[in-house]
Amino acid sequence: MAHSHAHDTFQRAAFPTPLDFPDSPLSKAFQQPLLLGVFLNMQDIRLSNHPTSNTWTFDYNTRIVQQAEALGFEIAFSRTQWLPKGGYDGEASLDSFIALGAMAAVTRSILLVSTIHVLYGPLHPLHIAKYAATLDHIAKGRWGINIVTGHRPIEHEMFGRPQIEHDERYQLAGELFDVLNTLWSSTENFSYEGRHGWKIKDGYITPKPLFGRPVLVTATGSEAGIDFAASQSDLVFITNASGAGIRETLEDIPAHVQRIKARARQFGREVRTLINPIIVSRDTEQETRDYLEAIVGNKVAGSFGNPSAYASDAHAWRGRAEGSRNTGLGLGGNIEIIGTPEQVVEQLVALKAAGIDGVQLNFHDFAVDLTHFGERILPLLKQAGLRL
């Protein structure tokens, strides 16, 4: 027997999530005191001309994810952007929906989170539901969606539509994910007609996801975005609007985190918060200073570090002044963690105390710096009680 909805309110609490299953990969990941992830650059991004092994290629990024997995990291994550020639992409960029989905076949334990602009273009809810269920089975419950509604007008326009007003985007995304959750969980045909032009008649998808639905992540800072994330997502990816420095972050983040978690509890849910630092570290203070100076001294003028290159209505960036950055390394909301292994761990301990549940790590040179992190910093994190 089919059931249908038109413009009505769904009962969100009725939808199962991976955290309802103690053996799901997400439930297992959440046992760690501090989640560890890699924030991949599957784009040709150059902040600095100081030599690096980084490339946008699938093979390179797959090796980084496998290296992170071997170190016990829980999450791999990447942005996707839709920008004209001369945007951030340089030589090339991969789509993270496809690339991280493909990594499911060559990894075993790490969560793979793909960025999808869920309101762009003709991607129908049935497509998203079916693609997601398929990747969920390939990854055995390890694949997820970083939900992006599109904060740049230029991106919406590339897809042939004007930008949707900020708060309305989150209302539409809420509607979409109520539809997706219904498709992922319903054992009957489903018909629907929504405000965004989505229509479904006797829709049905199999297989159903293994643990209720894929892992859901939202990056946000606005009230409308927090409401959406608190009601729908498992992980909330936050930025510090006042700057990239660790000091400003430790001052400003606790109240922000408390607000997000309190809002989730109003929906009867618990969420975890992620933030994405860039780590610059060597064994001694002098070596670290030399490495930092080599990176910053070769900084590319007008590079990705300027978030105002294209118009945006992202609330997470409001009030973030260029002058507040220590080095200009801050990228996409990153904070900067600079120091010896011991100093890095002190800063990560402080972030955990401020309410941060996980870090998505950036490095100037992923292959080299991730190796250093695994050899020199990870053992100290375990000693500090941040890793099991």
Q: So what's the pLDDT on residue 152?
A: 87
Rounded to an integer, the average pLDDT of 316-337 is: 54
Rounded to an integer, the average pLDDT of 201-214 is: 98
Q: So what's the pLDDT on residue 4?
A: 55
Rounded to an integer, the average pLDDT of 32-49 is: 91
SS3 of residue 245 by DSSP? coil
Which has more confidence, 56 or 89? 56
Q: Is 371 exposed, middle or buried (0-12, 13-18, 19+ CB in 10 A)?
A: middle
Which of the residue ranges 39-43, 70-74, 101-105, 287-291 would you say has the lowest mean pLDDT? 39-43
Q: What domains, with CATH codes, occur in the chain?
A: 3-383 (3.20.20.30)
Where residue 6 falls among pLDDT bands split at 50, 70, 90?
very low
Strands 111-117 and 75-78: parallel
Q: What is the pLDDT of residues 329-388, one digit of tens each?
A: 654 447 999 999 999 999 999 999 999 999 999 999 999 999 999 999 999 999 999 999
Rounded to two decimals, the pTM is: 0.91
d(CA 371, CA 229): 33
Select from 68, 50, 3, 103 the least CA-distant residue to 291: 50
Where residue 194 falls among pLDDT bands split at 50, 70, 90?
confident
- Mean of the per-residue pLDDT values for the chain? 89
Q: So what's the pLDDT on residue 306?
A: 45
Backbone angles phi, psi at 276, to 5 degrees: -120, 100
Where residue 89 falls among pLDDT bands split at 50, 70, 90?
low
Q: What is the pLDDT of residues 131-162, one digit of tens each?
A: 999 999 999 999 999 999 987 888 889 899 89
Asked if the model's pLDDT at residue 304 lies above 60, the reply is no
Asked if the model's pLDDT at residue 247 lies above 80, the reply is yes
Q: So what's the pLDDT on residue 380?
A: 98
Where residue 253 falls among pLDDT bands split at 50, 70, 90?
very high
Where residue 326 falls among pLDDT bands split at 50, 70, 90?
low
Q: So what's the pLDDT on residue 313?
A: 66
Amino acid at 6: A
Cβ partners under 8 Å of residue 152, min gap 6: 83, 163, 310, 311, 312
Q: So what's the pLDDT on residue 318?
A: 46
d(CA 342, CA 339): 8
